[in-house]
A = this chain, B = another copy of it.
Amino acid sequence: MDAEIASELGRCASCVIRREGLCGALKQDELLQFRRIANRRKFEPGENILQSDDDPDFFAAVISGVVKLTKVLFDGRQQVVDLLLPVDCLGQVFGRRSSYYAQAATQVELCCFPYSGFEQMLEEFPDLKHRFLEQTLDDLDSARDWMVLLGRKTAEERVASLLLMLATRTAITGTAHNGSSRPVALDLHLKRHEIADFLGLTYETVCRQFTALKNKGLIQQPSRRRFSVPDTEALAKAAG
């Protein structure tokens, strides 16, 4: 019986969302129900996941890859309002209807839930709802941190902040986070232009700040999209 459940759980058993995300809030039999309304979808870099005016027909969690959440002004000016990494969620709930665009920045795998089904599960499983609330509160906190960046930081501080944020969120290398700073390497999948839209700058300025940080020895850049941070603390200081 247990084996049967385990096999039916299948890919859920080894999924990040189960380990660290929303699904972590579910008991095995709840997960089984939840799984029934879920289906995975893959997206190629640059592909649109949600358009502003779509009837947003699904809610989703990121399994792998990076999703840009952007807002657009009437004349085309863009602002990336969030970068979604694995475990993060995307989609509007409870009839909210602000206009976001979601776009795959890398190859992306999502676990998608039809809209109504997801809301129903939220009602049925209080722990799921609680987890969702916690994630939303975290999102709010980081949105506000970003407001400080956009409103008050210099170009160099912004770029440093982004690198720092990515370094702490996607620590690829053996980062034991022993308090002190240890070199961290990271792949930056975003184009300069996308970075600029996230930081409220132009891509030329982003470039210049990268070279500035390189010259100061705060980062190294083995290849165009690969960075390493020799001293996290120093970078944090440069980030404000």
Contact = CB atoms under 8 A, between A and B. Distances in A.
Interface of A: 71, 73-75, 77-79, 81-82, 93-94, 96, 98, 100, 126, 129-130, 132-134, 136-141, 143-148, 150-153, 197, 199-200, 240
Contacts of A139: 140
A94 B140 contact: no
B73 A141 contact: no
A82 B129 CA distance: 25
Contacts of A126: 126
A132 B79 CA distance: 27
Closest 10 CB pairs between A and B?
A151-B200, A150-B150, A143-B143, A81-B144, A79-B148, A79-B151, A77-B152, A150-B151, A98-B141, A71-B148
Given A81-B144, A140-B139, A140-B143, A240 B74 contact: yes
A153 B82 CA distance: 18
A93 B152 contact: no
A73 B148 contact: yes
Given A73-B240, A152-B200, A133 B129 contact: yes
A126 B152 CA distance: 39
Contact of A137 (B75, B94, B138, B153): B94
B143 A71 contact: no
Contacts of A71: 144-145, 147-148
A79 B147 contact: yes
Given A71-B148, A144-B143, A200-B151, A137 B137 contact: no
Contact of A134 (B81, B94, B138, B145): B94
A80 to B, nearest CB: 8
Nearest to A130: B129
B144 A93 contact: no
B148 A147 contact: no
A216 to B, nearest CB: 18
